[in-house]
């Protein structure tokens, strides 16, 4: 049976990609074949005539097996803006079927698939689809990345409430120190662990130079490996 997890964030720029890559490294260190996916990405550059998103490209590089970019990132747009705006500018409508097809193919190539979202929990992907609609169709448990910065407490609590109200499982949360001099870090972690009512599976410290191998050692996999059986 294949397993997977969806990586959500309280907002953009909270470290979802960094954690997704560290999680993939942690899984590989435990002997799992890991793959990753960023279904929708805004902001890219052309490499040999192909539009590539940096985050999705990093995910591709960290997969256990060589996997085609288009499976990892079915929808990529040039402008680094909200995906519904970027898609409209590109004349594209984001649909769930190609994403679900890519995800199913990835599960055949690995033991565990890490799916990273874009922006916050209910960011629009099109006029009719929001990010939470996609997660509902994937039927994956959710890990919430909280970037420790001013305002994060309210954002985290509201996002956790939204995840559960959408009928999905919040299996853990990640504290990521995105601000070097964030005050009351320990107090924030204690408060959110109580309010979110799920395990803090990783506490990532501020890094000037990202080291995914070191980050991966801080992840407690025991709380997530029992979830997401497909």
Predicted confidence (pLDDT) per residue in 55-91, tens digit: 999 999 999 999 999 999 999 999 999 999 999 999 9
Residue tagged 């970027």 (tokens) = 86
Q: Residues, the chain, total?
A: 230
C-alpha 23/C-alpha 29 separation (Å) is 10
Give pLDDT, residue 229.
Answer: 38
pLDDT digits (tens, 9 = 90+) for 178-211: 999 999 999 999 999 999 999 999 999 888 888 8
| Average pLDDT of the residues in 24-28 | 96
The pLDDT of 105-109, averaged and rounded, is: 95
Q: Cα separation of 229 and 140, whole Å?
A: 8
Q: How far apart are CA 70 and CA 126, in angstroms?
A: 20
pLDDT band at 2 (very low <50, low <70, confident <90, very high): low
What's the CATH number of domain 3-223, 3.40.50.300, 3.40.50.150, 3.30.300.30, 3.40.47.10? Answer: 3.40.50.300
97-104: long-range contacts, CB 8 A cutoff, minimum separation 24:
98/74, 99/39, 99/40, 99/74, 99/75, 99/134, 100/137, 100/138, 102/37, 102/39, 102/70, 102/71, 102/72, 102/74, 103/4, 103/37, 103/39, 103/138
Beta strands in the chain (DSSP E): 3-9, 34-37, 40-42, 45-47, 50-52, 75-77, 112-116, 142-147, 170-176, 200-204
DSSP state of 205: P
| Of 230 and 34, the one with more pLDDT | 34
Which positions are catalytic? 38
Distance separating alpha carbons of residues 11 and 186, to the nearest angstrom: 21
DSSP helix, strand, coil percent of the chain (3-state; round to 5): 40, 20, 40
Instruction: Give the C-alpha separation, 69 to 112, whole Å.
Output: 17
**How many whole angstroms from its chain centre is CA 87?**
20
Domains in the chain: boundaries = 3-223
């Amino acid at each position: 049976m294949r397993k997977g997890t969806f990586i959500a964030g309280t907002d953009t720029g909270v470290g979802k990609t960094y954690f997704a890559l560290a999680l993939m490294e942690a899984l590989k260190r435990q002997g799992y074949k890991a793959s990753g996916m960023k279904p929708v990405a805004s902001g890219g550059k052309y490499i040999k005539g192909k539009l590539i998103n940096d985050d999705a490209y990093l995910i591709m590089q960290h997969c256990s097996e060589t996997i085609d970019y288009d499976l990892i990132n079915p929808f990529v747009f040039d402008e680094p803006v909200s995906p519904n705006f970027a898609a409209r500018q590109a004349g594209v409508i984001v649909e769930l079927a190609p994403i679900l097809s890519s995800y199913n193919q990835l599960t055949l190539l690995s033991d565990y698939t890490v799916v990273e979202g874009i922006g916050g929990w209910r960011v629009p992907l099109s006029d009719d689809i929001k990010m939470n609609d996609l997660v509902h169709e994937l039927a994956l448990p959710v890990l919430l990345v909280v970037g420790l910065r001013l305002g994060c407490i309210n954002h985290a609590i509201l996002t956790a409430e939204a995840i559960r109200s959408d009928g999905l499982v919040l299996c853990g949360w990640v504290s990521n120190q995105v601000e070097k001099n964030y005050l009351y870090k320990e107090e924030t972690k204690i408060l959110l662990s109580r309010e979110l009512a799920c395990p803090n599976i990783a506490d990532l410290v501020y890094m000037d130079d990202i080291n995914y191998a070191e980050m991966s050692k801080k992840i407690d996999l025991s709380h997530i490996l029992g979830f997401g059986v497909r």
